[in-house]
Amino acid sequence: MLTEGVSLIDSRSDRVVMEPNPTYWNPERKPTVRIVYDNGIGKDEGIKSVASGDGRVDVVFDLTPAEAKTFPQSDKGRIQTKKAKTILTGVFNETKPDSVWRDPAVRQALNRAIDRQFVLDQGAHGYGTVIPAFIQPGRYGADPGMSPIPHDPEAARAVLEKAGLGGREIMIVASPSWQGVVAAIGQCLSKIGLSARFVSDRGALPEDFDVKIEWYFDWTPQYPVACVHREFFGKDATLRQGPEDPEFDALYEKLLHTPAERTEEVVREVERYIQDRSKALFLYSPFTLFAVSDRVAFTAYDTCMSELAETRIKG
């Protein structure tokens, strides 16, 4: 039960407090602790508090790979990881009619230029899993026959040079959290005579950027295309950087009107379509990262939501 404070899209109270509902019907999810979201404590301060065991903070959400990697040695707290339903992917700038990124072969070539495991290991300290497109292997809708686009720098070089991109600097817009990822992409590109320039997404989006890195997550009950794929490529997508794609929209319509028992095959068809057309610069699925006090048994959610019903105090 919410007993203090509010959290809105554009603002939140200094404290939001939730207390257990003693009459809740589900014993498996009946909370045993009061939860205080302390919005007056910054992330850095929260991480330090968990590591020091000073008792002010028990769980910090949404650590970056760098924050997790530099978490101090501590017997009071630890880094907890979760293979959540996430993606980190690059959106091609296809806004101009003459953009080279409107050509699927060029998009595929940039995908072939990238060594994803290297990008993950070098750029994000290995906190993630390389996946074929937008769905993790083993999840609902994952196609067991799909694998990541292979790393083939020489094939990539030939196509990119033919497209007039030889020697070019690729401008990549991203959150500062992913600066290491952009640097690792740059190292991959340097092997074929290209380079990458990081531009922070905190300012206005430059008109002439090439790729924009986006982190996204799937909170749905086994319906990833509506939440994730549509958000990137659908006619009502908020992350699309180019024209509408009638082929994608037709697949989405088909999914909506497919009986529930047959939807998974259509989800796989969508996954294959976005990879076949190299609709994005596919990178990897980032783990969600938490700093957690040792006094707490924290249950993280694959949806990336901070649902805390199962979180307990140890002992």
Partner 1 sequence: MDAQATGDPGGGNAWGPHNTVTVVDPSPVNWLSITWNTMEEANRVDHDGIGQPSLAESWRWLDGETLELKMRDAVYQDGEPYNAAMFKLGFDKVQEWTNPHPPGAFLNFARDVTCEAVDDRTIRMRFPGGDSAALMKLRGMHLPSTRFWNEWGFIDPKTGSAEGHW
Cα atoms in the Cβ-side hemisphere of radius 13 Å centred on 158: 3
Tell me whether residue 41 or residue 155 sits nearer to partner 1 (CB atom): 41
Using CB under 8 A, which residues numbered 260 to 289 contact partner 1? Answer: 260, 263
Residue (70 or 299) nearer to partner 1, CB: 299
Please identify, using beta-carbon distances, which residue of 6 and 98 lies nearer to partner 1.
6
Which positions from 124 through 153 interact with partner 1, judged by CB under 8 A? 139
Q: Does 21 bind partner 1 (CB under 8 A)?
A: yes
Among 118, 216, 273, 301, binds partner 1 (CB under 8 A): 301
Tokens 């796989």 locate to 268
Pairing state between β 169-174 and 195-200: parallel
Least spacing, CB of residue 127 vs partner 1, in Å: 17
Judged by CB under 8 A, which of 22, 90, 142, 212 binds partner 1?
22
**Residue 118 in the binding site for partner 1 (CB under 8 A):** no
Site for partner 1 in 41-80 (CB under 8 A): 41-43, 45-46, 55-62
Instruction: Supply 80's token pair.
Output: 């907890």
Q: Which of residues 228-257 bind partner 1 (CB under 8 A)?
A: 230-231, 234, 236, 238, 255-257
**In 3D, which of 88, 62, 83, 85 has the Cα closest to residue 218?**
85
Judged by beta carbon, residue 156 or residue 255, the one nearer partner 1 is: 255
Q: How many residues bind partner 1 (CB under 8 A)?
A: 77
Report yes or no: 156 and 113 within 8 Å, Cβ to Cβ: yes
User: Hey, what amino acid is at 282?
Assistant: F
265 CA to centre of own chain = 24
Please, what's the largest Cα pairwise distance for the chain? 68
Strands 211-217 and 86-92: antiparallel
Stretch that binds partner 1, among 16-24, 120-128, 186-194, 203-211 (CB under 8 A): 16-24
154 binds partner 1 (CB under 8 A): no
Nearest-Å Rg of the Cα atoms of the chain is 21
- Nearest residue (CB) to partner 1, 154 versus 253: 253
Closer of 190 and 299 to partner 1 (Cβ):
299
Query: In angstroms, rounded to a whole number, what is the distance separating the alpha carbons of residues 151 and 149?
Result: 7
Answer for the pair 283, 89: CB distance below 8 angstroms, yes or no. Answer: yes
Site stretch for partner 1 (CB under 8 A), options 69-77, 105-113, 176-184, 224-232: 224-232
The residues in 76-115 that bind partner 1, with binding defined as CB under 8 A, are 84-85
Picking from 189, 166, 171, the residue whose alpha carbon sits closest to that of residue 118 is: 189
